[in-house]
Structure 1
Amino acid sequence: MKRQEVAVTATSTADADTLYRLLCDRAAVVVWSPMSECELERPGERDPEGVGSVRRQRLGRTVGYDTIIELRPGRLFRYSHEGLPVNGYVGTVTLTPVDGGCRVDWSSSFTPRYPLTGWLLRRGVRRFLTDCVTGLASYAETATP
């Protein structure tokens, strides 16, 4: 089956460090994203919230697990996801300073587990990522550093 790609972008007046801090703060995730829960399932290798940590997240009745796979302070947040009917899901949030703020590029790629479901999964992931990126960009503008 064909690998699917989804990418969304938003711009915020907040700086990259503020956006990065909110991405790494699992307690804040439920404020700026559609998630109703975000709990630490397993601590990271060096930092409890760092690389290797696993977050258990809930959206309605759906539960998923994000494993943090790469962090570059103020620049990059990369994770893998388990919980959707896909294989090899990888999400990447890239923060790029621009005049007056920061551009947030959130992308994901995955391979559907079942034939003919790529378009539906792509549509759902795009909607979810759009809610996340716009929520993050907007909330960061009001967040206290």
Structure 2
Amino acid sequence: MSTTTATATVPRSASHVWDVLVDHEGMSSWGPGITVTLQTEGAPDRNGLGAVRRITAPGPAPAIVEEVVAFEPTRTFGYRALGGVPFKNYGGTVTLTPQGASTRIDYAISLDERVPVVEKVAAAVVARVLLTALVRASKR
């Protein structure tokens, strides 16, 4: 398994970034044409452990279905793909670290590499794109 991490710091509290991060339906505002629906609620928080979200984008690509597998409020959020991604054992972990009035965001993407160079580059691009979208959404 290979992991790639992208990092940024935003001038917002960890609780603010957390609220943006775990609002599954709110992810629809992160990118043009993206629609996110909650298929299964988590417990005890509806967006928490066990929640299943469906992410659709314009075009012919299949919907991405992800399950929340880590949920430590204001600290760690993790998910794994159940379908719709071209990577084997794809998952993400977002770690928030308060830094004064700001928050450091570490967005890690993990997957099994079948074509190492190609998938490593793809994972780095995905991590950077998702981090950039989260940073932009957190600054609103």
The answer, yes or no, to whether TM exceeds 0.5 is yes
Q: TM-score range by the shorter chain?
A: 0.7 to 0.9
Question: Aligned pairs, how many?
Answer: 137
Where in structure 2 are the equivalents of 1:4-23 lying within 5 Å?
4-23=2-21
Give percent identity, aligned residues only. Answer: 26
Q: In structure 2, do the counterparts of structure 1 residues 41 and 104 end up closer, same or farther at CA, with 3 Å as the change threshold?
A: same
Q: In structure 2, do the counterparts of structure 1 residues 34 and 62 end up closer, same or farther at CA, with 3 Å as the change threshold?
A: farther
| Aligned 8 A contact 1:33 1:131 in 2 | no
Q: Which residue does the alignment assign to 1:97?
A: 98
Where in structure 2 are the equivalents of 1:119-130 lying within 5 Å?
119-130=117-128
Q: Distance in 2 between matches of 1:36 and 1:68?
A: 19
Q: Which residue does the alignment assign to 1:49?
A: 47
Comparing 18-27 and 85-94, the one that deviates more = 85-94
Q: Which residue does the alignment assign to 2:81?
A: 81
**Deviation by residue 1:84-139 (Cα, 9 ceiling, x = unmatched):** 23332231100001134011000021114xx4x23222322322221221221232
Task: State the Cα distance separating 1:33 from its structure 2 match.
Answer: 4.7
| Aligned 8 A contact 1:87 1:110 in 2 | yes
Q: In structure 2, do the counterparts of structure 1 residues 134 and 37 end up closer, same or farther at CA, with 3 Å as the change threshold?
A: same
SS in 1 for 2:44: coil
- In the alignment, structure 2 segments of 5+ residues that lack a partner are none
Q: Distance in 2 between matches of 1:33 and 1:132?
A: 10
| TM, length-normalised to structure 2 | 0.86
SS in 2 for 1:62: coil
Comparing 125-134 and 70-79, the one that deviates more = 125-134
Q: Distance in 2 between matches of 1:15 and 1:32?
A: 19
| Aligned 8 A contact 2:25 2:38 in 1 | no
Aligned CA RMSD, in angstroms, stands at 1.9
One-letter amino acid matched to 2:74: G
Q: Which residue does the alignment assign to 2:66?
A: 66
One-letter amino acid matched to 1:97: P
Q: Distance in 1 between matches of 2:79 and 2:100?
A: 28
Q: Distance in 1 between matches of 2:111 and 2:125?
A: 15
